[in-house]
Amino acid sequence: MSVTINAHQLGRLIDKTIDHMGSEYVEPLHGIRLDVDARYLYAVASDQYTIAVARYQLNHGDQQQEPWARTIPAEHLRSIREWIDTMKGAGLVTISTAKDRLVFEGPQTDLSISVNTALEFPDWRGILRKQVEQAADGPTFPALNSGYLARFNTGDVLRARVTGDEKPLLVFAEDFLGAQMPARYAGVYPCKEETFDGAHQSWLWTLSAGSKDANLDGAAYEEDRPRYEATTDIRETGETLLQQTLRSGWDMAGKSGDKPEEFLAHCLAAVNGWAAFRYLDALYNVDPRAAAAVVAETAGEFDSGEISEFAWGAAEKAGFDPQKWLDDYEAYRKRKAEERASETLA
């Protein structure tokens, strides 16, 4: 029984769940559970206060196998994560089961760890199904441990559902589902109010000085950033690329006949904008952190104003000959100039 996943995605499954695993005093929970069904590979961890599930959709070939599950002991997680970091993100890792082992086969090296197949892991599907399917329980004002909340900081945009004062908080993201148990509320200051009405009443005097129409809409504020400074935000970068593609496409209209050079310039801008967006989107789906790092690094290169130097160095590093490109381009420009001059004389 085996599944195949790329290195980046396997690293993400571990990173999204590792902060939720139980302590060494609860052996069944002291690790990350790899659970495979006919559609997904899941990584699951819980310490009984929080539970986190990250999943990866299997390719068609892997979906023919029988379901299986094994718990990676906590003491092996660091070595597995370091092993993943030694390979390129797109490198494929095959995870297979043996009698009492999990085997990770990479492009260059393999890693084998011992596992205890007798450990009983909780029915995490049943636990989360119960919470997801239950209706919200009236006006809710649950007490939550902020330290546990921090465990869900994986860089994703999260959606949350509050199901009741003494019921778990549900957290959703792309291919991620988690839950946090409510705190056993002791009524200790500064959150001594046990109901929302009580908390509201305690803040009335302070908040009454504010306007009822006030908001924190992002449109009401503008970043104090020069127009030429490139954004480091990945979503804003994607929006800019899509806008460039569409605007260039709109500008192409009516330029093909009377202004062919402008038409070609807009065509090139539209093609490059769309290509850049597709590449960025693909990288984000493989590894959001790598995509964000590339956007931030590229923004710094834009702001430095040395793009030509960076491109020249990248071309040489890739084994190309940018000097030949320059010579060919200069010859092309010279030829075009001579053709225009001859047309003028004629």
**CATH 3.10.150.10 location in the chain:** 2-114
DSSP string, 108-174: S-EEEEE--TT-----HHHHHHHHHHSPP-SS------HHHHGGG-SSS--EEEE--TTSPEEEEET
Indicate the residue type of 65.
Q
Exposure letters 56-95 (e unless 16+ CB within 10 A, then b): bebeeebeeeeebebbbbbebbeebeebbeebebeeebeb
**Spatial contact of 178 and 20, defined as CB atoms under 8 Å apart:** yes
Report, in this order, helix, strand and coil percent for the chain, each rounded to 5: 45, 20, 35
Q: Return the CATH architecture of domain 2-114.
A: Roll (3.10)
What is residue 133's predicted lDDT score, i.e. its pLDDT? 76
Q: Count CB neighbours of 52 within 10 A.
A: 26
The CA-based angle 318-320-323, given to 5 degrees, is: 135
pTM above 0.75, yes or no: no
Taking a C-beta distance cutoff of 8 angstroms, is the pair 119, 27 a contact? yes
- CA dist 212 and 289 (Å) reads 39
Exposed/middle/buried for residue 40 (C-beta within 10 Å: 0-12, 13-18, 19+): middle
Q: Each residue of 121-133: pLDDT tens digit? A: 989 998 888 888 7
What's the pLDDT at 192?
55
11-35: per-residue pLDDT in tens? 999 999 999 999 998 899 999 999 9
For the chain, which residues score pLDDT lower than 70?
60-64, 135-138, 184-194, 196, 202-203, 205-207, 210-211, 214-229, 254-259, 345-346
Cβ atoms of 95 and 104 closer than 8 Å: yes
Question: What is the predicted pLDDT for the residue at 33?
Answer: 95
pLDDT of residue 138: 67
pLDDT value for 153 = 85
Predicted local confidence at residue 116, as pLDDT: 92
Q: Output Rg (C-alpha) for the chain, integer angstroms.
A: 28
The pLDDT value recorded for residue 135 is: 64
pLDDT of residue 288: 76
Output the pLDDT for position 120. 87
Cβ–Cβ under 8 Å, residues 56 and 41: yes
The residue count of the chain comes to 346
Q: How many CA atoms lie within 13 A of 228 on its CB side?
A: 5
- The whole-number pLDDT of residue 221 equals 43
As a whole number of angstroms, the distance between CA 298 and CA 240 comes to 14
Residues 6+ apart with CB under 8 A from 283: 290, 291, 294
Over residues 75-113, the pLDDT tens digits come to 999 999 999 999 887 889 999 998 889 999 998 899 999
pLDDT for the residue 146:
79
The pLDDT value recorded for residue 219 is 46
Residue-level pLDDT at 263: 81
Who's near 158: CB < 8 A, 6+ residues apart? Answer: 152, 171, 172, 173
